[in-house]
Amino acid sequence: MTDAALPITMTDDAQPRSPRRAPEALRAVGGALLGLGILGALWAFGGWIIQRDPSLFIFRDFAPGPTLSRFWTMVQSGEAWRMAGPSLNRVGSGLGLAILIGVPVGIVMGRSRLFRDLANAPFQFLRMISPLSWMPIAVMAFSTWDGAIVFLITVATVWPVLFATAAGVRRIDPAWLKVARNLGARPLHLLTSVILPAIAQDVFTGIRLALGVAWVVLVPAEYLGVTSGLGYAINDARDTLDYARLGATVLVIGVIGYALDLLCLLAIRRLSWLREEAR
């Protein structure tokens, strides 16, 4: 038998990488840019309609030109970062409390059928109440506006984290837990070495959903009486009829929110156990 007839074996390290990854990445980036381009075109078209309508001419600064110019000025002067800082701090505090509450309770809910049967109906009932409905109670219960806003964000974001965690725990293969116990794993070791790694992707998915909810609740919550933050900037720009600043602030909210969501998505993909097969 000649050498050419010998079978060729390749180790995993020698396997050729899939040539599809680069085209898929380019297609994803291209699709995102195209989608944003379409959104920008619709925005420009809306601004053109406003400028041609005498009854809407006062809102002409909502058009892309004035808004983008003011947005760039706000970024260069640092105004955008000064208004976003307090809002990010409030969102981080509220979401952090939601994670501290939602993950442990979600684990217990996923592991205990009795607790799940008792808690599911009350939790679902509370979840369906608008977070802003708690605003009068928050104002009376907390001595500071910041405390009330953090409370509202926590109330809004705890449910996605809790239910995503519980769903992740219920999907854990019981054989994993059985093997870990047979190997002598204690409850704490079982939690840190089996349960938490297994549900990490579910937890981050819940955090991503919760972050979106928090970012939506933030602006009306900051109407309460604070003198800083993105919601305050929106309210102030509306009261002063500075529509270019209002539009630029909306743009700041969208850019920061999109960036935060992208970071969560990258974390979810990093923790994913599923890998695309080479084709």
Which CATH number belongs to the domain containing residue 185 in this structure?
1.10.3720.10
Domain with 191 in it: 83-218+253-274
Does residue 200 form part of some domain?
yes
What does residue 275 show for φ and ψ, rounded to 5 degrees? -125, 140
Does residue 225 form part of some domain?
no
Rounded to whole angstroms, how far apart are CA atoms 83 and 162?
Answer: 30
Helix segments in the chain, DSSP class H:
21-52, 64-77, 79-111, 113-127, 135-141, 145-170, 174-182, 187-190, 196-221, 230-239, 243-271
pTM (2 decimals)?
0.78
Does residue 246 form part of some domain?
no
Number of domains comprising the chain: 1
Most confident of 58-62, 128-132, 185-189, 273-277: 128-132
Q: Find the mean pLDDT for residues 158-182.
A: 86
Burial of 119 (0-12, 13-18, 19+ CB in 10 A): middle
* 173 vs 250: which has the higher pLDDT: 250
- Is the model's pLDDT at 278 over the cut of 50? no
Tokens 């974390």 correspond to 267
Does residue 18 form part of some domain?
no
Q: Beta-carbon neighbour count of residue 182 at 10 Å? A: 8
From residue 40, alpha-carbon distances to 36, 63, 65, 158, 174 in Å are: 6, 10, 11, 34, 50
Does residue 223 form part of some domain?
no
Q: Find the mean pLDDT for residues 26-52.
A: 76
Does residue 36 form part of some domain?
no
Does residue 3 form part of some domain?
no
Does residue 111 form part of some domain?
yes
Name which of 82-91, 104-113, 114-123, 167-176 the model is least confident about: 167-176
Q: Find the mean pLDDT for residues 23-34.
A: 73
* pLDDT of amino acid 4: 46
* pLDDT of amino acid 7: 46
Helix axes 79-111, 243-271, angle to 10 degrees: 40
Rounded to whole angstroms, how far apart are CA atoms 279 and 276?
Answer: 9
- Is the model's pLDDT at 108 over the cut of 80? yes
| pLDDT one-digit tens code per residue, 191-213 | 777 888 888 888 999 999 999 99
